Amino acid sequence: MTKLNRPLLRLGQALHARAYRFTTVTPLTHSRVNARVENAWATDLAGVFGWSRPFKRETVGEELFGLMDSANILLDIQGGWRSAVRWSSIGDELYVHSCYPTSEHDAVFFGPDTYRFAQAIDQHLRRQPAEELRRVVDIGCGAGPGALLAAHACGNAEVYGLDINPTALEYTEVNARLAGVGNLRALRSDLLDGVSGQFDLILSNPPYMLDPQARAYRHGGGELGAEFAMRLIDSALPRLMPGGTLLLYTGVAMVDGRDPLLEHCKTYLAGQDFVWGYREMDPDVFAEQLLEQGYERVERIAAVVLTVTRQAAGHAQK
């Protein structure tokens, strides 16, 4: 169990009490908005804790500045300060994650993919009664939004947030406590190696980019970033209970109209006792990535949702 960062939690509570809200955008949008002359310095809390702009002490006030100091998230820059973390919102909940730009190797990402992942989970939970879910796990939980959504919806379930990044687990603990969730455990794990048993619902939003720095939150590996998602599918399906579901949201680089993840699923799931569905949630995301090395032949990157359900015993496969 990760030790709770209480000063960071108190900062989140103080921001919540001030009705702070922020929607995190893509890195490209973030950089373009921050490049405007009038945005050189933060003038409000969104500028400090959302846009990651430099700020003066008086912008946040003594209470928040003191909490930031106690949480050890103040970055001293020439003439002012920056916050080492951001706070973003989904609905009424706040989530702490890494500041912009997410250049550190242990950066904890939160952005448009997070909102799409949350939508996919919400849609699934509307179809599957919460009382049927006793054990739920989010693989590569990051700041924990997927695990928290499940823990909120399934109050009697045992929910795990797994990540190999200690910083992600620290933030998940803070976010769970801030949300008043008591049935979520954040554990260090490579895929499912850190937990035992089977699950009614396995969630994941794995990385899918080619990243020269091989940052854990971003680098999917393989030829075009799909390797981690394929490994995750192979690892997760044997751990599903009968009737249990894997819900995977990720991105896929398309070349010559081919979808390598869909092709993998068709091959891997053929003849097995699973019912599965696959859809594009957004046909074109992170277009700026196509300018990077390795993407010369990529036509687009699509955001996709895969659901795979193990059929219950005695259920004939269709």
Task: Tell me the Cα Rg of the chain.
Answer: 20
Domain residues for the domain of 87 are 6-98
Is the pLDDT confidence value at 318 over 50?
no
Interaxial angle between packed helices 166-178 and 6-17, expressed in degrees from 0 to 180 and rounded to the nearest 10: 40
Final residue of a structural domain among 41, 74, 98? 98
Residue 315: inside a domain, yes or no?
no
**pLDDT value, residue 317:** 44
Which residues are CB-neighbours of 317 under 8 A, at least 6 positions away? Answer: 273, 275, 311
Final residue of a structural domain among 98, 131, 153? 98
**pLDDT value, residue 312:** 81
Residue 25: inside a domain, yes or no?
yes
Q: Which residues pair with 258 in a beta bridge?
A: 255
Residues 80 and 124 in one domain: no
Could you tell me the pTM of the whole model? 0.94
Residues 18 and 121 in one domain: no
Arithmetic mean of pLDDT, 28-49: 98
Q: For residue 129, how many other CB atoms are within 10 A of its CB?
A: 9
Residues 77 and 137 in one domain: no
Residue 318: inside a domain, yes or no?
no
Arithmetic mean of pLDDT, 48-54: 98
Q: What is the count of structural domains for the chain?
A: 2
Is the pLDDT confidence value at 56 over 90?
yes
pLDDT tens profile 229-284 = 999 999 999 999 999 999 999 999 999 999 999 999 999 998 889 999 999 999 99
Q: For residue 260, how many other CB atoms are within 10 A of its CB?
A: 19
